[in-house]
Amino acid sequence: METKCWNVDNSVNKDKVYPQIVDAAKILQLGQVVAFPTETVYGLGANAFSDEAVQLIFQAKGRPSDNPLIVHIANNNQLAELVEEIPEGAKKLMEAFWPGPLTIILKSKKQVSKFVTAGLSTVGVRMPDHPVALALIEASGLPIAAPSANTSGKPSPTSAKHVFEDLNGRIAGIVDGGSTGVGLESTVIDCSQEVFTILRPGSITPEMIKKVVSNIEVDPATVKETEAPKSPGMKYKHYAPDAQMHLVNGSMEFIHKLIHNAKSEGKKVGILTTEENINQYKADVVLACGKREDLTTVAASLYDCIRQFNEENVDIIFCESFPYEGIGIAIMNRLWKACGHSIITE
């Protein structure tokens, strides 16, 4: 399959007509799969109502079919097609954070493909805060089911280049709208029950949500192998580099010892740190992932750094830990999964 690429300026107006977006929208209408930018990561989109189209997502990614997909919309009319009811608390969250990186799980009208919901009675919906995404969804006239546009288990793509590396020849097209902003997938909150539950942390933090609604709790965001996850990112290993990665809870001196021991075993060592500590390590590959004093910069460059380790062919990666607060919760969640839950504590 030839993968077509369209370059689109990320300042497009969703109410205007752009030939590239019209072309990509027609491919979606024909039941094919197209990658596109959002403010979080690039999504791999297909018609949410079509079983055949959605199955192409799973085939391209190699994604387990019991992992539900998030449906992306551009207006409230599309929302009405998807869900049975919207609790008052969910309406408040939409008013506060849409368009934006918040996915809200609600009871489904069961019109979407069963492969979108993984057979569950609920569906996750969000309105992305990216002009290219909104313009594409509007032009297609469809709600678009879209997980991250990467091979399943690998780091999510924050640029069209990442998508091309993973999926060239496996999907119909890529809309290149430049680099994404947030860099981490959306926060997911289940609003289908009386008590709202945060299933996946993101840049919309629990503190931000609690200012809007009070009846929430934070789920540990894991499920048993025999259970069906309500949200992406709950069950399987995600975001992982090719090399084994370890999250380190300990001092810089402790990390120096880990580097020394790994090198003495003949391993090529990678370190994931921040700009503040970039010159403190004597490893083979040392990458600065944003600034520790501004964790939004860490979130924005996290997946790109993980992909760089693959290009450097390191054997082992040690990663500094981050404060478990605000967006740091989401960063640590992604690192924990990227490491396959491997944490080394001093």
> Quick one: angle between helices 19-29 and 131-140, nearest 10?
50
Give the residue among 271, 279, 278 at the shortest CA–CA distance from 319. Answer: 271
26 C-beta neighbours (distance < 10 Å), count: 13
Q: What is the pLDDT confidence band of residue 268, given thresholds at 50, 70 and 90?
A: very high
Note the pLDDT of residue 233: 54
244-345 CATH fold: Rossmann fold (3.40.50)
Lookup result for tokens 């075993």: 265
pLDDT tens, position by position, 54-113: 999 999 998 776 789 999 999 999 999 999 999 999 999 999 999 999 999 999 998 999
pLDDT tens, position by position, 294-346: 999 999 999 999 999 999 999 999 999 999 999 999 999 999 989 988 999 99
Q: Which residues are annotated as a binding site?
A: 40, 63, 67, 72, 122, 126, 146, 148, 156, 186, 200, 239
Mean pLDDT (the chain) is 92
Give ranges for CATH 3.40.50.11030 in the chain: 244-345
154 in helix, strand or coil? coil
23 in helix, strand or coil? helix
Q: What is the pLDDT confidence band of residue 234, given thresholds at 50, 70 and 90?
A: low
Q: Which residues are annotated as a binding site for ATP?
A: 63, 67, 148, 156, 200, 239
Q: What is the pTM of this model?
A: 0.91
pLDDT tens, position by position, 246-255: 999 999 999 9
Segment 262-291 shows an average pLDDT of: 97
24 in helix, strand or coil? helix
Lookup result for tokens 């789920």: 219
Give ranges for CATH 3.90.870.10 in the chain: 4-218
Lookup result for tokens 């954070």: 97
pLDDT tens, position by position, 145-194: 999 999 987 899 999 999 999 999 999 999 999 999 999 999 999 999 98
Q: Which residues are annotated as a binding site for L-threonine?
A: 40, 72, 122, 126, 146, 186
Q: Distance (Å, rounded) from C-alpha 159 to C-alpha 155?
A: 12
pLDDT tens, position by position, 109-131: 989 999 999 989 999 999 999 99
Q: Which CATH class is domain 4-218?
A: alpha beta
Segment 272-300 shows an average pLDDT of: 96
Lookup result for tokens 């998807």: 82
